[in-house]
Structure 1
Amino acid sequence: MTHAWIDASAGVAGDMLLGALIDAGASLDAVRQAVAAVIGDAVTIEASTVTRAGLRATYAQVALQQDDPPHRTWTTIQQMLTAAPLPAPVRDNALKVFAALAEAEGRVHGVPASDIHFHEVGALDSIADVVGVCAALNDLGVGSLSAGPVAVGSGRVRAAHGSIPVPVPAVVELAQGRRIQAGGDGELTTPTGMALIAALAPTDEDLPGIAIQKSGTGAGTKDFADRPNVTRVLLGKSPSHSRSQAVQLEANIDDLDPRLWPGVLRHLMQTGADDAWLVPILMKKGRPAHQLTVLAHPTRADQLEKQILQHTSTLGVRRTTYTKRALARGWIDVPVDGSPLAVKIGHDQGLVLQVMPEFDAVAALAEELGWSERRVLAAAFAAAETFGWSIGSPPPEDFSALRNHQ
């Protein structure tokens, strides 16, 4: 699959990572379209070639075209992303990034994540950076990410709450469990940059064994004489591994208001769970209850465990490690009454094994067309088969052509 490794040894910010991905070949038009879907024409995005300490790089400049409110809440940004007509992988990744930011800011200020008011990271240019990076990754077909040690800087910086030490508190929270280093004077890594790495590149590792196919270098705003102010991205094909480690977290709960469960499950998914579900059970003394189960990558287990303890009434969480086999998968768009609909394709050993429309997209399109959801599903299956994506058959083209292939 296509893997991206982020070199943040000189620091990372949202615009730097966006510039690196555009430099690696991501479509600037795809980035602009995704950002416009969320915030309209409130910003412009331009990419130019610059040098940083003599090293060529791409500078992604996000410029405001209107006055920006002083802050936005996490709930407001969540609603903006959910309502926007974005491809599912772009929307889901952007939600993960802002959820990570909200959790970090909540811990810093001692308030629930839902009550957080973003200042700098809630500005239109920061929203554009996050959505732009997620759109660029989707356009490049990146299925997995990892990152090396992150240079965070040193000294102090002025922010909405006055003069604060570097690394700023939100970066410290987001960097939990990762290797960091000073790397130089000033703020080298911003909360947005750290959140992108924390949410999208859960594995902290030195350069892995990949066959490099593309690379990109993104420039920061400043040009230091003693070191290139850049973030690099290396993309390549990693060896195919059909089996991986997964952690399963479980808790039996008999005293939680059942109206809270949908929010609990939604929050866990936004925090980075691969899946989360409830099973009705009967506990001791004949009490009806629910067994909560969360499946996640091992690097996210600690954070999700904390969320279970915080958002439910359980007194403990069981943890089991499993070996998981997952089909390789990716996305295609098929036309349904002239509108594109995302369909997930699962495959193995050169054959298509699963063809499944994205149900959130099905529900949205059914509402738009005035059709039943069943009718949209049937039309999506028929369209996929018309284009050659049939269960049990070879694909009409190479599987690597699938979006977000992994």
Structure 2
Amino acid sequence: MSDGRFAILDPAAGISGDMLLGALLAAGAPVEPLRDLPARLGFPDVSVQVRPVDRCGIRATKVDVIMPDGRQEHPSVSAEDGPQAHHHHHSGDEAAHHHIGELIERIERAPLSSPVRERAIRAFRLLGEAEGRVHGVPAAEVALHELGAADAMVDIVGTLEGFEGLGVDRVYNWPVAVGTGWVRAAHGVIPVPAPATAVLLEGIELGPNGPVTGEATTPTGAALLRVLSSGAPPSRWRAVAAGAWGAGGRNPGGYPNALRLILAEPAAEAGEVVLISTDVDDLSPEYLDPLRDALFAAGALDVQVWATQMKKGRTGFRIEMTVPPPEADRVSETLFRHSTTAGLRRQTVERVTLARRELQVDAGDGMRVRVKVLDAPDGPRVKPEYDDVALVASRTGRPAHEVARDLHNRAIRLVSPDTATRSVIPNKES
């Protein structure tokens, strides 16, 4: 989505696939693709039920995957009467019907968008690797019973399609509650978090459990976090919608067993950016280009490098960049990783910019060139995109400066016919 919206997950009561899917539907993700999702994934007799429920006085959305005989995935039995409905995966269990490898093949064949397919496959591979690491078996041999397989497929693929439907740019999460006590698995009771869940949560910030008892975070929920989340949210943001809750399987009554999803946008004031700078005297100049590329990839708006003289007469470089506030931490980390600096300076500054837009201009022979347009006080200013100009010049054999001049003049006539006369670049002969 081009407006920069992102999602923040609040797993204070844990996270599972059905909680996340319910929260997405409550946030406005389209429900229609979910209706036929089981059939698209090779489970034509499985249905999905979506219903409103109450969790400690809060309206939440509950999603259930239902088999033809009416069976649903039941909550795991816990010594603490834990909150989440959850299927534990089995390693090499002959009674199980579907192996991870088979489920991945179904995803590869299903009519899904490429981003959803790639992330779903990654999520199932993470699940298989975690269970395989715990049980000492190959990931592809990890198996789920019939209902557990359908439930996991709907939860994971449905969640990924839900985020795609909402069009958020990024997903962040606050610290995750994992729960306490014990949970029943195929081979007996095991401590919370379940071993595979603990593996999947490696690298994810965990938080206090508060009143949560039993299993709060499931392997499916943890795998989705690994695939989706960029970690902690930016320090400043503005809530667009904060009332979306996805319900877990149980209703303990003492706290809302639900996952909250917040749609947000950057909170920086118009024109506000972070100026980040540093000085280095031990970085070889040949590494400046890859450093600049990495900073742009991390979110920098502009990057400037110039030579400077440092202490003891050493020649060094000042590296300075302007960055949107939500990306300041990511760009700072990139600067530390890709340069030799030991420290940097950051300050928030005001940036005044002209309104800008882009149009496409016919360059002849079926070619079109992107042109940037700035709405200046004295009239529009245009500049053809250099890469497009170079491509036209290469294909036609004309000098690049002539191509740029002609496209500039065509663009001016398109955006402001009244000012075209004084804005046109003359030919060298005139």
TM-score class, shorter-chain normalisation, is 0.5 to 0.7
Offset of residue 161 of structure 1: 2.3
TM-score by length of 2: 0.55
Out of 105, 111, 123, the position equivalent to 1:85 is 111
- For residues 111-260 of structure 1, the aligned pairs below 5 Å read 111-118=137-144, 123-180=149-206, 181-183=208-210, 184-203=212-231, 205=232, 208-215=235-242, 216-238=244-266
Q: Deviations over 1:73-116 (max 9, x none)?
A: 22111110011111112212211211211221122122332333
Counterpart residue number, 1:99: 125
Shift of 1:211: 2.3
Distance 1:165 1:50 in 2: 29
RMSD of Structure 2 on Structure 1 (CA): 3.5
Q: Which has the larger radius of gyration?
A: 2
Aligned match of 2:99:
73
Contact 1:73 1:122 in 2 (8 A): no
Given that residues 12 and 209 in structure 2 are in contact (C-alpha distance below 8 angstroms), is that contact kept between their aligned partners in structure 1? no
Q: Distance in 1 between matches of 2:37 and 2:266?
A: 28
* Partner Cα separation in structure 2 for residue 51 and residue 392 of structure 1: 54
Which residue matches 1:6?
A: 9
Contact 1:34–1:135 (8 Å) recurs in 2 = no
Q: Is the 8 A contact 2:170 2:230 kept in 1?
A: no
Letter of the structure 2 residue corresponding to residue 134 of structure 1: L
Contact 2:67 2:147 in 1 (8 A): no
- Number of residue equivalences: 264
Task: Report the Cα distance in structure 2 between the residues aligned to 1:321 and 1:102, rounded to whole angstroms.
Answer: 31
Which of 21, 24, 30 aligns to 2:24? It is 21
- Asked if structure 1 preserves the Cα contact closer than 8 Å seen for 2:192 and 2:214, the reply is yes
Instruction: Give the superposition deviation at 1:60.
Output: 1.5
Task: Please tell me whether the aligned partners of residues 43 and 150 of structure 2 are also in contact (alpha carbons under 8 angstroms).
Answer: no
Aligned match of 1:37: 40
Q: Which amino acid aligns with 2:58?
A: L
Q: Which residue identity does 2:174 align to in structure 1?
A: G
In structure 2, what is the equivalent of residue 344 of structure 1?
none
CA distance in 2, matches of 1:185, 1:75: 33
Output the TM-score relative to the length of structure 1: 0.58
**Shift of residue 190, structure 1, vs aligned partner:** 1.0
Q: Which runs of 5+ in 2 are unaligned?
A: 74-94, 277-297, 299-328, 331-335, 340-355, 361-365, 374-430
Displacement, 1:214?
2.3
Identity %, equivalent residues: 36
Structure 1 residue 390: Cα displacement: 7.8
In structure 2, what is the Cα distance between the partners aligned to 1:393 and 1:60?
47
Inter-CA distance 162–192: structure 2 relative to 1 (3 Å threshold):
same
